[in-house]
Amino acid sequence: MNDFLKLESVSMHFPIRKFGKRVRYVHAMDDVSFSLKKGEVLSLVGESGSGKTTTARVIARVYTSTSGDVFVNGKTINRKMSKNELKEYRHRVQMIFQDPFSSLNPTKRVGSILSRPFILYKSMHNSKEMRQAEKDVLELVGIAPPELYLDKFPHELSGGQRQRVGIAKAISVEPDLILADEPTSMLDVSIRLSIMNTLLKLKEERNLSYLYITHDLAGARYVSNRIVVMYAGMIMEIGSAEDLIQHPLHPYTQLLKKAAPSPETGFNKKKLGYVGEVPSLISPPKGCRFSPRCPFAMEKCSKDTPLLYKMEGRKVRCFLYEKQN
Ligand SMILES: Nc1ncnc2c1ncn2[C@@H]1O[C@H](COP(=O)(O)OP(=O)(O)O)[C@@H](O)[C@H]1O
Ligand code: SF4
Ligand SMILES: [Mg+2]
């Protein structure tokens, strides 16, 4: 299988300005490389502030990376694109957001929200045909009977239904790649699993690929084939979902595992609290970015930056695995 999406050493530094002058940079992504195959679900896991959303936005070309390259279907996206090319690209790569409330226009009815992508990307203007297409896509995401919901406003729906409308909006244009940015984290625990199942069903039916962003390792295990663990703007570990969770190699992945008891209960922030937080990315820690929190830190960990070492089908950015390479 060929790589559908490939990031090669991508960095994204946001300038911080004071009195209009650039003074410092937020190092939101540094040297990020990973790939995703067609039909694959790849989870990007890490605590808040790790650079996950920035990664999705670089892929969606909301931001142009500071350095490195992103390839989609073998073609770089870090080039000047005409308005039409950009429109076509954003058609193929769709985002699903964490907060379905803020991603749906509160003044528009569900039917009108869903009609926009059909008009924009499918040039569909026949109202009867469009109404049918809106109903079909609502049924696909598990909203039934659809005619009951087309005339409702987002605030008249439950959180889960709103997220389903968000998913419907994303898939309505038949994209190849979906960037799902914490799609269940604002929903009731009781409906998270059913939203994940809807996403998995759609993936099979439509041959989609997902970058599934979450801070919940157990949720990532449930939906994905492989997992990328990100911390403070850098990748710490990459591996198959099962291996990585059964035997986490990186001390940060081990910490995440401790904090994520099950897909139902999700992330346990309290358990993580006692070992600190993601550092400021304006001046990230020298050497290994995890060193201030790492129980295994050695002297060189705060001086040198470890590479991503290859370990039994895994990649791990940690000096503990340096000698075995
Ligand atoms: N547009 C921006 N300008 C400046 N800093 C940003 C911007 N977007 C994100 N950041 C910073 O980049 C870091 C990573 O953020 P983000 O990608 O949102 O992380 P995550 O999604 O893992 O919580 C944070 O320190 C955040 O404050
Ligand atoms: S490189 Fe050092 S500080 Fe970083 S995770 Fe490994 S042991 Fe811990
Ligand atoms: Mg985020």
User: What CATH number is attached to the domain comprising 275?
Assistant: 3.40.50.300
d(CA 210, CA 7): 15
Residue 209 gets which letter from DSSP?
E
- Three-state DSSP class for residue 97: coil
CB within 8 Å of 259: residues ≥ 6 apart: 217, 267, 268, 269, 271, 272
Residue 96 Cβ < 6 Å to ligand 2:
no
Q: Total domain count for the chain?
A: 1
Q: Which ligand 1 atom is the nearest neighbour of the CA of 215?
A: 22
- As a whole-number percent, the residues of the chain with pLDDT over 90 amount to 74
Minimal-distance CA residue to ligand 1 atom 24: 49
Does ligand 2 lie within 6 Å of residue 320's CB atom? yes
Over residues 231-282, the pLDDT tens digits come to 999 999 999 999 999 999 999 999 999 876 554 444 455 554 446 788 999 9
Q: Is the CB of 4 under 6 A from ligand 2?
A: no
Q: At CA 323, angle to CA 318 and CA 324, rounded to 5? A: 90
Ligand 1 centre from 278 Cα, in Å?
A: 12
Return the residue matching tokens 């073998």: 74
Tens digits of per-residue pLDDT, 112-147?
999 988 887 777 778 888 899 999 999 999 999 999
Mean pLDDT in residue range 12-19: 90
- Could you give the strand order of the β-sheet that contains 75-76, starting from the edge strand earlier in sequence? 21-37, 3-18, 67-72, 75-76
Mean pLDDT for the chain?
91
User: For residue 182, which atom of ligand 1 is closest to its CA?
Assistant: 21
Helix/strand/coil percentages in the chain, nearest 5 = 40, 25, 40
Domain span at residue 233? Answer: 3-321
Whole-number Å distance, alpha carbon 313 to ligand 1 midpoint, is 30
Ligand nearest to the CA of 29: 1
Task: Of 16, 5, 11, give the one whose Cα is nearest residue 235.
Answer: 11
Q: Which ligand is nearest to the CA of 230?
A: 1
Q: Report the separation in Å between the CA atom of 51 and the middle of ligand 1, taken as the mean of its atom positions.
A: 6
Q: Which residues contact 121 (CB under 8 A, 6 or more apart)?
A: 87, 91, 173
What distance in angstroms lies between residue 295's CA and the mean position of ligand 2's atoms? 8
